[in-house]
Amino acid sequence: MPDLEDYSGEFRPDAKLQDFSKDTVARLWRSNSLLYMMLGGLWFDVVKDKVGAEKALEWEKEVWLKRGGSLNDMRGVMEVLNIKGDDVAALFKTFQFAPGEAGWIDIECELKNKEHGILTATRCPALEIFELGGDTVRQKHACEDICVPGMQLSGEFINPKMKCRALKLPPRQSKDEIACQWEFKIE
C-alpha cells in the first residue's frame, strides 16, 4: 500500500505512523512542536489570570531555565538522532531539529568553524504574536529574560566553555528584519 498523504480516507483500526508519507510525518512534527510551545503560553495565561503578570513572568522563566524546559528540548533530539560532540557544530545539529527551535522558528545556521558559529532566526511566531498584540513586556521577557540565558544554557550543555552572545534582539523596526541573531563561540 502506498504511503498516506493524509488520513481523509476510511478509518483503519490498525493504522500506524509508518503508514504515512515522510511529508505527512514532518507536518505532524511541526504541528506537535508548535503545540508544545503554545502549551507553555496557555499555562502563562492561566497563571497570569489567577495570580498576576509578575508571578507568571517569574515562573515562566523558572520553567525554561531552572526546571529543565530548555535542556529537555535538546536532550530529546540528541538522543533520537544520535547527536554527539562538544562543539558548535553539535549544538547547531541539535537546533536544526529541536522542537523548540526549528520545530516552530525558521532558523539558519552558519558555521564559521567547529568552535564558532552564527545562528539566525529569520522568523519567530512568538515575536510576531507579541508584535501583533503590542505586548512589549512579554516580548522583552521572552527574548531577554528567557532566550538570552536559555541560549547560554544550551551552549553550556554542549560544552561548558561555550559562550553565547546576542548579536541582534527584538524589537525590530520592520517585519522584513530578522527576529534575532546569536553568536556561539568556544573560548
Partner 1 sequence: MGELQDYSGEFNPDLTLPDLSKEALIRLLVGASKLYLGIDGVWTAMMRKKYGDKVAFDYDKEVWFSQALALDIRRTVEALNIKGNDIPTLFKYFQFGPGFSVIYVGPPPKFEPRVKFELKNKNHGIMTVTRCNSLEYFERHGDTELQKLACDEIDLPAFQWLARHFNPDIKCRALKLPPRKSKDEIACQWEFKIKT
**Contacts with partner 1, residue ranges (CB under 8 A):** 6-8, 10-11, 13-18, 22-29, 31-36, 38-40, 42-43, 46-47, 50, 59, 62-63, 67-69, 72-73, 76-77, 79-84, 89-90, 92-93, 96-97, 99-100, 103, 108-111
Nearer to partner 1, 114 or 172 (CB): 114
User: How far from the centroid of its chain's Cα atoms is residue 160's Cα?
Assistant: 21
111 phi/psi in degrees, rounded to 5: -95, 115
Q: Angle, nearest 10°, between helix axes 125-133 and 22-51?
A: 40
Nearer to partner 1, 112 or 175 (CB): 112
Cβ–Cβ < 8 Å for 181, 167: yes
Nearer to partner 1, 18 or 174 (CB): 18
CB of 173 to partner 1, least distance (A): 27
My answer on whether omega of the bond before 170 falls inside 30° of 0, hence cis, is no
Nearer to partner 1, 18 or 173 (CB): 18
How many Å apart are CA 123 and CA 120, to the nearest integer?
9
